[in-house]
Amino acid sequence: MPASREAVQAVLKSVADPVAGGDIMSSGVVRALNVDEAGAVRFVMEIPPSQSAAYTKIKEQAESALKATEGVSAVSIVLTGHTDKAPPDLKMRKAEPQGPQRVPGVNHIIAIASGKGGVGKSTVSSNIACALAQQGRRVGLLDADVYGPSQPRMLGVSGRPASPDGKTILPLRNHGVTMMSIGLMTNEDQAVVWRGPMLMGALQQMLMQVQWGALDVLIVDLPPGTGDVQMTLSQKAHVDGAIVVSTPQDVALLDARKGIDMFKQLHVPILGMVENMSTHVCSNCGHEEHVFGHGGVAAEAAKLGVPLLAEVPLDLQIRLASDGGAPIVVSQPDSAQAQAFHAIAAALVAQGVA
């Protein structure tokens, strides 16, 4: 069995940090911890450069402790130095934590999350964004799904974003939505292996260096699961709330629950859940089928005390619309499917978060 993130954290807690005091987890030098499905552990130790000799020894201790841990298949630790601006004493730095920042010009940020991949999070994000734009809101959509950026295709935009001054990035725009995707920074068919710190840097850049302009709301399409991007977003930016998308199956719900727990720990309010691929209505005969079961998300939402924002059917038109670059809210605005997304948008406006 591959080691869990918690098991790895426990091992790291046993490694002392004589420089900053305590252990290397509590002293804050461990960053971007990633434990993959095969039990490979990767993280960065962010240290003051003047202490590199001391931390090289600590790094070796952490390496041997992890290598001796059952379920750890590989260990990769990278030491990185602070910039000159960093105060010399790590404890000082800890005493003044930089809380979540507001993105200039952006009034609200809503994260769209899912526990599992493929449940339709990106489809829901693009339709909510377009629905909000149609309701007169100034909307941005940040595609932070580094493992499978799909918003450029869903919103029908391509090309590389320009950076005339080499410092800021000009976003793209379609269907009334200002959009930027990490996927636009890479070649479409190039597999990207994002290391933790690179990923956090990219997210920070997407938030702070993209010229979003004045926005009522920025929708962030997160990668599936509960990883570094979710953490970084909630730590760096003030997130008004999260929407968790799930299909009705038990496995998807189990993961959705983990996502909700994570946001609670990060003090991000849960705005509600969306059941996607809820029922299937046959486009030929109108027969309604519950392919993945139905109502599981409603029951879960009730149990967790969070609103159920919508039940979106499994519907060929929704997929064709997204694949064709004009979400159903844009291509068939009067359809029942589009109305489900409009209801979510209206609920967000009513809650004062969009």
Q: Summarize as ranges the residues that interact with ligand ATP (CB under 6 A).
A: 114, 117-123, 145, 148, 150, 224, 276-277, 312, 314-315, 318-319, 322-323
Query: Which is nearer to ligand ATP, 48 or 149 (by Cβ)?
Result: 149
Query: Which is nearer to ligand ATP, 65 or 185 (by Cβ)?
Result: 185
Residue 234 tokens, joined: 């909630």
Query: Which is nearer to ligand ATP, 51 or 123 (by Cβ)?
Result: 123
324: Cα separation from own chain's centroid = 24
Query: Which is nearer to ligand ATP, 67 or 319 (by Cβ)?
Result: 319
Q: Confirm if 159 and 171 have CB atoms less than 8 A apart.
A: no
CA distance 348 to 251: 27
| Least gap, CB of 117 to ligand ATP (angstroms) | 3
Q: Is 119 annotated as a binding residue?
A: yes
| Least gap, CB of 285 to ligand ATP (angstroms) | 18
Query: Which is nearer to ligand ATP, 228 or 315 (by Cβ)?
Result: 315
Q: Confirm if 76 and 40 have CB atoms less than 8 A apart.
A: yes
Residue 166 tokens, joined: 């080499």
Name residue, tokens 């990923």.
199
Per-state percent for the chain, helix, strand, coil, to nearest 5: 35, 25, 40
| Least gap, CB of 122 to ligand ATP (angstroms) | 3
256 burial via Cβ count (<10 Å: 0-12, 13-18, 19+): buried
Q: Is 163 annotated as a binding residue?
A: no
Write the Ramachandran bin of 39: left for phi over 0, alpha for psi from -120 to 50, otherwise beta: left
> Which residue, among 79, 73, 181, 166, has the nearest Cα to 126 in the 3D structure?
181
Query: Which is nearer to ligand ATP, 132 or 277 (by Cβ)?
Result: 277
Query: Which is nearer to ligand ATP, 22 or 333 (by Cβ)?
Result: 333
| Least gap, CB of 34 to ligand ATP (angstroms) | 18
Q: Is 105 annotated as a binding residue?
A: no
| Least gap, CB of 222 to ligand ATP (angstroms) | 9
Q: Kindly report the number of other CB atoms within 10 A of residue 295's CB atom.
A: 14
| Helix H or strand E segment including 109 | strand 106-114
Give SS3 for 54: helix
| Least gap, CB of 311 to ligand ATP (angstroms) | 10
Number of helices followed by number of strands (H, E) in the chain: 12, 12
Q: Is 122 annotated as a binding residue?
A: yes
Q: Is 166 annotated as a binding residue?
A: no
| Least gap, CB of 303 to ligand ATP (angstroms) | 22
Q: Is 121 annotated as a binding residue?
A: yes
Name residue, tokens 């597999």.
191
Annotated binding site: 115-122
Which residue positions form the known binding site for ATP? 115-122
